[in-house]
Amino acid sequence: MTTTIVASYPFLDVLLHSGGPRNVLETEWLGFAGSADFRAALVEALRLARLHHVTGWVADDRRLGAVRPKDLEWTHTEVLAPLGALGVLRFAHLESEEAMNRLTIDGMYQRSLPGLPYEFRHFLSLAEARAWACGLID
């Protein structure tokens, strides 16, 4: 398995894990991003997911700063829903370390899950999240 940083911002690194059973894109949030930066980075992540034919996604939200409710709604519509059309089969999530972010972001995921065509799991371990998203473990 090869890991490459395919995009980098002060608040986010986007990594591609390739060479295994499936290609996986990972968004590793490094801190707070304003609305415009948050959205632009996720649009770029989707472009990269399409380009690299990913079928797994790891959302490492542990250090993600506060996210505005309107950006969470946008994420549901413009990111989570389209992932299924891209061929994503597994979405691994590592929760924010901040309690308020955990509540708001997890709430968005819970509302989104029933309509999503891919498997979604929460993880405490980044290594396990990657291994599951990559198809190395069930």
pTM of the model: 0.93
Q: What is the pLDDT of residue 32?
A: 93
Token pair, residue 117, equals 């065509």
pLDDT at 115: 80
Q: What is the homologous superfamily of the domain 2-133 according to CATH?
A: SpoIIaa-like domains (3.40.50.10600)
Q: What share of the chain is helix, strand, coil (3-state, %, to 5)?
A: 45, 25, 30
**CA–CA gap between residue 119 and residue 100 (Å, rounded):** 25
Half-sphere exposure of 34 (CA within 13 A, CB side): 2
pLDDT along the chain (138 residues), means of 10: 96 95 96 96 98 97 91 92 94 88 78 84 96 94
Question: What is the helix (H) or strand (E) element at residue 122, kind and residue range?
Answer: strand 119-123
Q: For residue 99, what pLDDT is reported?
A: 78
CB 73 within 8 A of CB 111: no
Distance CA 67, CA 35 (A): 8
